[in-house]
Structure 1
Amino acid sequence: MAKNSPATEKIVITDAGKEIDRRLDQYQEYEFGGPWGVTGIMLGFPVLMYYLWICLWFYDGQLVYPKSQADVNPFMARMWAHICEDAYPSLYAWKVYGGNIIFQLFLAWVMPGYQQEGLPVPSLNYKTLMYNCNALYSLYATMATAAVLHYTNIFRLTEILDNFGHLMSVAMICGFATSFGVYFWAVATGSQIRMSGNFIYDVFMGAILNPRIGPIDLKIWAEVRIPWVIVFFLSVSGGCKQYETLGYVTPNMAFMILATWLYLNACAKGEECIPQTWDMYHEKWGFMVIFWNFAGVPFSYIYSIVYMARQDPSKYRFSTLAYVFLFATLLTAYYIFDTSNSQKSRFKMQTQGIKTFRNTFPQLPWSIIENPTYIQTAHGNRLLTSGWWAYSRKPNYVADWVMSFCWGAIIGTATPIPYFYSVFFITVLVHRVGRDFERCSIKYGKDWERYCQVVQAKFIPGIY
C-alpha cells in the first residue's frame, strides 16, 4: 500500500540499495544499436536537419526528392549547393552564435542565483552537488539586452531567421567540437565513468557526469541557456520579421512566441528542479545530449516558425474557433507539464529534508503536494503516487508531447515538416521510458511491481 507519512523524513539508502546502485552505475550494454547505430545517428541527423531546412526555405515546405534514377546526381548537386551557398558557417554566424554562448557563460558566472542541493550521486559515493540556479536572472538580462540591441539597430532580431542556415552550421560544428573536446578532457583528467571501451560509442554516450567550470555546471547550463534561449529568440525573430513585412503578427506566430516563452520561462523559473532529474545525476554529458542542446533542439523544433517566415499567412490561416482550441490546448498541456514536474521534483526535495521552496513566477496551483502518498522501497528511495503521478508514471512526458504536437499543428496541413518535432519526440520518449523502467525494475524489484499495480498507466490512463 502507498504510505502517507511525512515526506520530509529524509530517505536513507540501504546497503542492498547501494549495491544495486553500484551495479547500475557501471557500463551494462550497448544502446542505440551500439557503435554502428550511434555513428548513423551522428552522421544522419545533421543531414536530415539540412534536408528539412532546404525543403522549408527553398521549396515551400514540400518534401523534395529525385523523380528518377537520372535525377539523383542533379538533385544531390542542388542540395549541396544550397548548403554551400546558404548554410556555410559565415563569420557573421560565428559572431552571433559564439557571442550568445559567451554571453550566457558570463551571465551564469556573475548573476546571483538560488542555491539548490542536488540528489545524492551514486558515482560520487552519494555526495550531493550544489547548483547556482540563476537562469531566471540570466533570461531577463538576455531579453533586456536583445531589446536594446534591436531598437538601437546594433543587432536586428530579424537577422536571426535571415541567417538560419549559417547559424545552424555553426551550431552543428560547436556540437561536434564540444562533444569530442569534453570526451578527451574527461579521459585526460581521469574523470570518465561507465566507459564501454569503444571510442565512438563513448563519445556519443559521454565520458563525464558533472563537468564544471568554476561555479558553472556545464550540463545544466547547456540544457537551459542554449537551446531554449535560441528557440525563443527564433520565434521573436519571426514575429519581428512579420511585423516589418506585413505590419502585424499573425496569431500563429504569436502562438509560437507564447509557446516558446512558456517553455523557456518554465526551465528558468524552475531551474532548481532540474538537479533532481535523471539527466543531472545519471546521464553523462556526451554527443547525445551536447549536440542536441547546441544544434538539434534550437534548429529542428521550430520548423513552423521557419515556414511562416517564408510564406504568405493565407496558407496557414485558421478560424477563430480553431485558434481558441489550439491556445487552450497549449495552456492546459503547459499547466500539467509545469505542475507535474514541480510535484515530483519538490517531492524529491522533501525526501532530502528540504521544507521551503523557491517562489518564482508563475507558481501554479497544485505545484506542491502537501501530504503526498508514496511507496517506500527496500532500496531506500520513495516512489510518488500522488498528484498527477497517481494517474500516470510519466504525466510530464504526455503534456510535453502534446505541446510539441501543437507546435506543428499551428501550421495545420500546409506542410508536414513542422510535425518532425512531435514525431521525433514521441520516439525519444518511448525509448527513454523503456530505459527508465528497465532500470527501475532492477533497482526496486518487487517494490517496482507494487508501484506498477498502483499506477498502471505508463502515459495515458486506459490507453497506454
Structure 2
Amino acid sequence: MASSRNGSVTTNGSSLSNGHSKQDKTATESSMLPHLLTNVIFPSTLVFLGPTFLMWIWYSVVFHNGSYYDFFSTAAKSDNAVGYLLSVWSKVSFGSFLSLSIIGGYMIFQLMLTFLVPGKRVEGPMTPTGHVPVYKDNGFSIYIITMISFVLLTTYLKLYTPYSPSIVYDEFGSLLANMNTFAWLFCVLLYVKGIVAPSSKDCGTSGNPVFDYYWGTELYPRILGVDVKVFTNCRFGCTVWALLPCCFAMKAYELHGFDASINSFVSVAILVVYLTKFFWWEAGYMCTIDIILDRAGFYICWGCLCFIPGLYASFSFYLVSHPIALSYPLAFAIVAAGLTCIAVNYDADWQRQHVRATDGQTTIWGKKPEVIRAKYRTSQGEEKSSLLLVSGFWGLARHFHYLPELGLALCWSIPCGFDHILPYTYLIFLTLLLIHRTHRDDLKCSDKYGIYWRQYKSKVPYKIIPYIF
C-alpha cells in the first residue's frame, strides 16, 4: 500500500491510520530485514556501485574485447582485485573540455527547443494531493528536429572539417564519467530542492536521507519552468539513446565500411523506429509508472542521465569492435522482426487508450470489447471510475505489451552475435525490470481498485506470457 503525505494509507477508498499497531515483537523484527534491504542496502549499492558498473561495461568493451569474463578474471588474478575494478575511473578524463562541450552543448540545445518548440497543453493524472501536472506536448517535434539537426551536423562535419560525430565513440568513457559526476551532484540539488522549495505538495521525506536521495523528495519538480523528469527522461535519456547508436554506427562505418558493419545499421534502424514511436506517444508516457509513481531522485534521474547511455546503448557500442557482415536477407529478416514487435507493442497501447477514450463504445479485433468498470476513491474521498480492458491483447495477459518489448530488445541485440553476453546485458536487465514492474503494478492496482482488480486477475490470470507467466 502507498502512504500518503499526511501519514495515512489509502486503499480502495478507505483510509487507515498510520499509528502504532499491536504487532508482536517477532513480526516487527521479521519486517526489519526487508525494510533494511529496500530502504538502505539496495539504494546505497545503486548510488555507489551503479556508476562504476557502467564504467565496467565501457572498460570491458574497450580493453577486454567486450568480455565480462576476461575483465573480471583479469581483476581476480591481479595483486589488488578491488583496485583493478576501481581503476577504470583512472582511464578517463574528468572535466575535459571536449566532453564538457559535448554534454553542455547538447543540454543547452535541448533546453532551447523545450521553450521554443510549440505544443498543445496536456495534463497528467491527478495526484493524491489534487495536483494535476501540465505538459507541453512538443516531444515528437523536438525529437524530429534533433535527428534532422544530427544529420545536418554530420554532413557538414564530414564535408568541410576533419571531424565526425564518431568522436563520441572515442570520447565515450570520459563522457560517461563526467555525466555520472553531474548526475550525482544534480540529484543532491533535487534532494535539497524537494525539502526547501518543492514545486507541488507531492513532496516530503521518509526520515532516511539515503533512501530520500535515492528515491527523491519530489514527484514533479520544476526548475526555472523546466519539468525535471520530462527533461531527464525524454529530452536527454531517450533522445541520447537514439543519437548514441547513430554515432557508434558512423564509427563502425569509418573503420570497416558498410557491408562489413551492416550489423550496426540493422540494430540502429530498429532502435530509431522504436524511439520514433515512443516520442509520437510521449504524452501517453506521462501517465506511466515512471512519471506518476517514481519520484525525481537518483533512481530515475541518474538512470536516465547515465544508465540509459551507459547500458541501454551498450549493444551498439559493442558492435563497433565486433562487425559482422550479415547477408542482406538475414539483415532484412531481423529488421522485419523488430518492426513487427514495434507494431504489436503500439497496437496494444492503442487498444487500451482507444477503449478508454470511447468509453468502451468501439470494437477490438472485430468485437465489442469486454471491460470492467472499476470504481475507486481519491485521497480526498471523491469517487471515480476507470475501464479495465479484458479484450484484445489485454485479454491475453495483463502486461502483454511487455512481450514485444522483450522481443524488440532481442532483435537489436542478435546482430552482436553470441561470442559474449555483454551486448545482451540490456535484454537481461529489461527482463528483470519488467517482471518487477508487473509486481509493482499489481500492488498499485490492487491498492487502487480493490475487488475490481481481483475480478480482472481472475479473467486474465497471466502477467506477460499467456499460459506461461
TM tier, smaller:
0.7 to 0.9
Per the TM alignment, residue 158 of structure 1 is displaced from its structure 2 partner at its CA by 0.9
Identify the match of residue 216 of structure 2 among 202, 206, 221.
Answer: 206
* 1:347–1:369 Cα contact (<8 Å) kept: no
- 1:273 equivalent to 2:284? Answer yes
Residue aligning to 2:188: 180
* 1:88–1:165 Cα contact (<8 Å) kept: no
**Amino acid paired to 2:168:** I
Counterparts of 2:73 and 2:456, CA distance in 1:
53
Residue aligning to 2:92: 86
Counterparts of 1:437 and 1:48, CA distance in 2:
30
Identify the match of residue 241 of structure 1 among 215, 231, 251.
Answer: 251
**Amino acid paired to 1:101:** M
Counterparts of 1:234 and 1:454, CA distance in 2:
43
Counterparts of 1:79 and 1:305, CA distance in 2:
23
Counterparts of 1:372 and 1:305, CA distance in 2:
41
Per the TM alignment, residue 369 of structure 1 is displaced from its structure 2 partner at its CA by 10
Name structure 1 gaps, 5 residues minimum. Answer: 1-14, 24-28, 356-364
Residue aligning to 1:374: 371
Q: Secondary structure at the match of 1:378?
A: strand
Per the TM alignment, residue 463 of structure 1 is displaced from its structure 2 partner at its CA by 0.9
**Amino acid paired to 1:298:** P
Identify the match of residue 112 of structure 2 among 106, 122, 146.
Answer: 106
Equivalent positions of 1:34-45 (< 5 A) are: 34-45=39-50
- 1:330 equivalent to 2:338? Answer yes
Residue aligning to 1:344: 352
Q: Secondary structure at the match of 2:122?
A: strand
Counterparts of 2:274 and 2:37, CA distance in 1:
28
* 1:231–1:299 Cα contact (<8 Å) kept: no
Counterparts of 1:138 and 1:166, CA distance in 2:
27
Counterparts of 1:20 and 1:435, CA distance in 2:
20
Counterparts of 1:442 and 1:105, CA distance in 2:
38
* 2:215–2:295 Cα contact (<8 Å) kept: yes
Residue aligning to 2:264: 253
* 1:109–1:215 Cα contact (<8 Å) kept: no
Residue aligning to 2:275: 264
* 1:274–1:280 Cα contact (<8 Å) kept: yes
Per the TM alignment, residue 200 of structure 1 is displaced from its structure 2 partner at its CA by 0.9
- 1:139 equivalent to 2:143? Answer yes
Counterparts of 1:69 and 1:296, CA distance in 2:
23
Residue aligning to 1:444: 449
Counterparts of 1:19 and 1:342, CA distance in 2:
32
Identify the match of residue 234 of structure 2 among 209, 224, 227.
Answer: 224
Per the TM alignment, residue 43 of structure 1 is displaced from its structure 2 partner at its CA by 1.5
With over 3 angstroms needed to count, the CA separation of the structure-2 counterparts of 1:73 and 1:90, relative to structure 1, is farther
Per the TM alignment, residue 329 of structure 1 is displaced from its structure 2 partner at its CA by 2.2
* 1:94–1:170 Cα contact (<8 Å) kept: yes
**Amino acid paired to 1:231:** W
Residue aligning to 1:362: none
Task: Give deviations 1:401-420, integer Å, cap 9, x for gaps.
Answer: 22122232221212210110
Q: RMSD over aligned Cα, in angstroms?
A: 3.0
Q: Secondary structure at the match of 1:377?
A: strand
Identify the match of residue 439 of structure 2 among 415, 424, 434.
Answer: 434
Residue aligning to 1:9: none
Per the TM alignment, residue 384 of structure 1 is displaced from its structure 2 partner at its CA by 1.8
* 1:194–1:207 Cα contact (<8 Å) kept: yes
* 1:304–1:408 Cα contact (<8 Å) kept: yes
Matched positions, count: 428
**Amino acid paired to 1:279:** D
Residue aligning to 2:421: 416
**Amino acid paired to 1:425:** L
Residue aligning to 1:303: 314
Counterparts of 1:328 and 1:103, CA distance in 2:
34
Task: Give deviations 1:212-250, integer Å, cap 9, x for gaps.
Answer: 245532212322111222121111112222332333263
Task: Give deviations 1:246-292, integer Å, cap 9, x for gaps.
Answer: 33263311122212212321221111212222222222111110011
Q: Secondary structure at the match of 2:375?
A: coil
**Amino acid paired to 1:39:** S
With over 3 angstroms needed to count, the CA separation of the structure-2 counterparts of 1:69 and 1:415, relative to structure 1, is closer
**Amino acid paired to 1:165:** G
Identify the match of residue 282 of structure 1 among 293, 299, 302.
Answer: 293
TM normalised by structure 2 equals 0.83
RCO comparison, higher one (Cα < 8 Å, 6+)? 1
Q: Between 398-407 and 284-293, report the one with greater CA deviation.
A: 398-407
Residue aligning to 1:403: 408
Residue aligning to 2:382: none
Residue aligning to 1:118: 124
* 1:276–1:345 Cα contact (<8 Å) kept: no
With over 3 angstroms needed to count, the CA separation of the structure-2 counterparts of 1:94 and 1:20, relative to structure 1, is farther
**Amino acid paired to 1:221:** F
* 1:22–1:122 Cα contact (<8 Å) kept: no
**Amino acid paired to 2:126:** P
Counterparts of 1:194 and 1:33, CA distance in 2:
18
Q: Secondary structure at the match of 2:416?
A: coil
Counterparts of 2:16 and 2:125, CA distance in 1:
14
Residue aligning to 2:392: 387
With over 3 angstroms needed to count, the CA separation of the structure-2 counterparts of 1:383 and 1:401, relative to structure 1, is same
Sequence identity (%):
22
Counterparts of 2:123 and 2:413, CA distance in 1:
37
Name structure 2 gaps, 5 residues minimum. Answer: 1-9, 19-33, 377-384
TM normalised by structure 1 equals 0.83
* 1:378–1:447 Cα contact (<8 Å) kept: yes
Per the TM alignment, residue 436 of structure 1 is displaced from its structure 2 partner at its CA by 1.4
Per the TM alignment, residue 296 of structure 1 is displaced from its structure 2 partner at its CA by 0.1
* 1:398–1:459 Cα contact (<8 Å) kept: yes
Identify the match of residue 161 of structure 1 among 158, 166, 169.
Answer: 169
**Amino acid paired to 1:281:** I
Counterparts of 2:242 and 2:53, CA distance in 1:
22
Residue aligning to 1:360: none
* 1:132–1:216 Cα contact (<8 Å) kept: no
* 2:267–2:413 Cα contact (<8 Å) kept: no
